[in-house]
Chain A
Amino acid sequence: MNLEAIGAIYKYEMARARRTVTQTIVSPVISTSLYFVVFGAAIGSRIQSVGGVEYGSFIVPGLVMLSLLGQSISNASFGIYFPRFTGTIYEILSAPVSPVEIVLGYAGAAATKSVILGVIILLTAGLFVPLHFLHPVWMAAFLVLTAITFSLVGFIIGIWADGFEKLQIVPLLIVTPLTFLGGSFYSINMLPRPWRTLALFDPVVYLVSGFRWSFYGIADVNVAVSLAMTALFLAISLAVVWWIFRTGYRLKT
């Protein structure tokens, strides 16, 4: 294991985040605050509570998930796409660095940034509504697992993309809609029957539900199912990454 190399990539990526601190930290904090103003204060005042949890607090896990998914994907995809775009990827390909080490460096840094961001959003949320963690260890587990999984998804997108617009397409057209539909701001139990069944095909439902359970003990789907699904997404991402490196897909000509 080339630990120095993992560290070098990781440090390099973290340094990039420090250079773009506005983009990685400030803007999500501002948008989270806006969500609280809109959903928490304006709409929340008309919704009493969901499953015994005040609406403002109810949306916190969903909000964290929303940013976590978006930022993990955009961070990781940009991190690997940029060297491909500029050509500096030659350095990594010609260095004694294994695929696993490359992924650990890039996805690891992206996941770290996402987790930091998630914590910052939680702290921001704490300014608006009372927070409550029923299962803090599980909360941390869901946070970290999701950050890792979607950093891997971002890594895959960054390798698949052959233009900057493609980097945006997946987050914009797939992830954001799925997050909104996936019960970030409501319980899918509030949906009428056919929609509710349909929602169960949305993977984000399982992530948000499990995460919310770790806060308030309420869930749309069984927490074991949530955990199994989270693990499944992680396994799928790992398999795709493994395939990419095995075939040299889009990395080597």
Chain B
Amino acid sequence: MSDIVEIAGVSKTYASGFTALKGIDLTVRRGEIFALLGPNGAGKTTLIGIVCGIVQASSGTVRVDGHDIVSAWRKARSLIGLVPQELTTDAFESVWNTVSFTRGLFGLRVDPAHLESVLRALSLWDKRDSRIMTLSGGMKRRLLIAKALVHEPRVLFLDEPTAGVDVDLRHDMWQLVSRLRDEGVTVILTTHYIEEAEEMADRVGVINNGELVLVRDKADLMREFGTKRLSLRLRRPLAAVPESLSAWRLELSGDGGELTYLYDARDARGGIGEFLERVRAAGIEFTDLGTTESSLEDIFVSLVRRRP
């Protein structure tokens, strides 16, 4: 089976002359949750817009489940659900009508039972007859998700699904995404919240200045960059790392007052208990200790900073 989304050489130069995307190549695998990270203006929404048919690419090709979005646009689009970044709704319509409308656009008959299940899943059932303008921001966000899911898409784009959403709703959203994954739906989301990508994504792509800087399995990424550090503040400065500790990955600060042990939390061999015993056995006393962990955020910041 082919990958569900195949983006090849996609560039976009807006009418203003601004180049928002520069030759993006990206494949998203069937059934995975892919997080697209990047600072404001990186080109995330533009890329999603191209795949969904809202923005015209200046060059390059996109296939969704093997269907080219230009030559087989109808088939490609029928597989996609999109939750836009902005809360755009028709204020005067009722929840029920707007969701039925979307289903109709995708060529499907209104199926009251299905509509009900979608609205219930997003806790909007009680609001089905309300006009959209009477909903709160979080409800509108859920409504947009309901609209994106009502035609049972195979690929769901969530453009900043949790921007301006409270903690509870954010966790609901995460649950929803993992439920969708269980149903085999591929989810591509953009976010500024690194913890969101850390929590949900199988793979992470980082986009900056219209270029895809990196695409990696989240687990690999965390392993590669995700080193933990245990720092000991020493009672008496050391001139050098003692011979008995040479088997451990250690760093001694310039003044010899701080000893740092670098380890991988996922690595069974790297237990800090044993290390601390060795330290004591070596006669080293310490006054304080602390651990730090590089998060996806650190990785992200270092990647984005590296390129001007």
Binding site for B on A (CB under 8 A): 2-5, 7-9, 11-12, 15-16, 19, 82-83, 86-88, 90-98, 248, 252-253
A12 and B101 within 8 A (CB): yes
Sort A-B residue pairs by CB-CB distance and give the 8 closest, nearest first: A8-B104, A87-B88, A95-B105, A94-B52, A96-B74, A96-B77, A96-B78, A2-B107
A108 CB to closest chain B CB (Å) equals: 14
> How long is the Cα–Cα vector from A134 to B97 in the complex, in angstroms?
44
Known: A15-B97, A93-B53. A88 touches B90 (CB 8 A): yes
Partner of A92, one of B14, B105, B109: B105
Known: A95-B77, A252-B56, A253-B55. A90 touches B105 (CB 8 A): no
> How long is the Cα–Cα vector from A18 to B139 in the complex, in angstroms?
26
Q: Is B2 interfacial (CB-CB < 8 Å)?
A: no
Known: A7-B104, A15-B97. A94 touches B80 (CB 8 A): yes
A90 and B88 within 8 A (CB): yes
Known: A5-B105, A94-B52. A87 touches B100 (CB 8 A): no
> How long is the Cα–Cα vector from A4 to B106 in the complex, in angstroms?
8
Known: A11-B101, A91-B101, A253-B56. 9 other contacts (CB 8 A): A2-B74, A12-B101, A86-B88, A86-B89, A86-B90, A87-B86, A94-B54, A94-B77, A253-B54
| Closest chain A residue, CB of each to CB of B51 | A94
Q: Is B84 interfacial (CB-CB < 8 Å)?
A: yes
> How long is the Cα–Cα vector from A253 to B74 in the complex, in angstroms?
19
Instruction: For B109, list chain A residues within 8 Å (CB).
Output: 4
Instruction: For A5, list chain B residues within 8 Å (CB).
Output: 104-107
Q: Is B63 interfacial (CB-CB < 8 Å)?
A: no
B212 CB to closest chain A CB (Å) equals: 21
Q: Is B174 interfacial (CB-CB < 8 Å)?
A: no
Partner of B89, one of A3, A16, A88: A88
> How long is the Cα–Cα vector from A2 to B91 in the complex, in angstroms?
26
> How long is the Cα–Cα vector from A121 to B29 in the complex, in angstroms?
60
Q: Is B92 interfacial (CB-CB < 8 Å)?
A: yes
Instruction: For A91, list chain B residues within 8 Å (CB).
Output: 101-102, 105, 147
| Closest chain A residue, CB of each to CB of B104 | A8
Mostly, the A contact residues are: helix
List CB contacts (< 8 Å) of B77-117 with chain A. Answer: 77-78, 80, 82, 84, 86, 88-93, 97, 100-109
Instruction: For A87, list chain B residues within 8 Å (CB).
Output: 84, 86, 88
Instruction: For A82, list chain B residues within 8 Å (CB).
Output: 90
| Closest chain B residue, CB of each to CB of A3 | B107
B96 CB to closest chain A CB (Å) equals: 12
Instruction: For B93, list chain A residues within 8 Å (CB).
Output: 12, 15
Q: Is B225 interfacial (CB-CB < 8 Å)?
A: no
| Closest chain A residue, CB of each to CB of B12 | A253
Q: Name 9 interchain pairs, CB-CB below 8 A, sorted by A.
A: A7-B104, A11-B104, A15-B93, A82-B90, A86-B90, A90-B88, A96-B78, A96-B106, A248-B56
Q: Is B73 interfacial (CB-CB < 8 Å)?
A: yes
A94 and B88 within 8 A (CB): no
Instruction: For B54, list chain A residues within 8 Å (CB).
Output: 90, 93-94, 252-253
> How long is the Cα–Cα vector from A83 to B55 in the complex, in angstroms?
16
B300 CB to closest chain A CB (Å) equals: 28
A9 and B56 within 8 A (CB): no
> How long is the Cα–Cα vector from A163 to B104 in the complex, in angstroms?
29
Known: A86-B90, A91-B147, A98-B74. A4 touches B104 (CB 8 A): yes
| Closest chain A residue, CB of each to CB of B88 | A87
B108 and A83 within 8 A (CB): no
| Closest chain A residue, CB of each to CB of B92 | A19
> How long is the Cα–Cα vector from A97 to B52 in the complex, in angstroms?
12
A96 and B73 within 8 A (CB): yes
Instruction: For B147, list chain A residues within 8 Å (CB).
Output: 91
B112 CB to closest chain A CB (Å) equals: 15
> How long is the Cα–Cα vector from A91 to B157 in the complex, in angstroms?
13
Instruction: For A16, list chain B residues within 8 Å (CB).
Output: 92
Q: Is B167 interfacial (CB-CB < 8 Å)?
A: no
B82 and A4 within 8 A (CB): no
A90 and B106 within 8 A (CB): no
B127 CB to closest chain A CB (Å) equals: 18
Instruction: For B1, list chain A residues within 8 Å (CB).
Output: none
Q: Is B15 interfacial (CB-CB < 8 Å)?
A: yes
| In the complex, per-residue mask of B2-42: 1 if CB is within 8 Å of any chain A CB, else 0 | 00000000000011000000000000000000000000000
A253 and B14 within 8 A (CB): yes
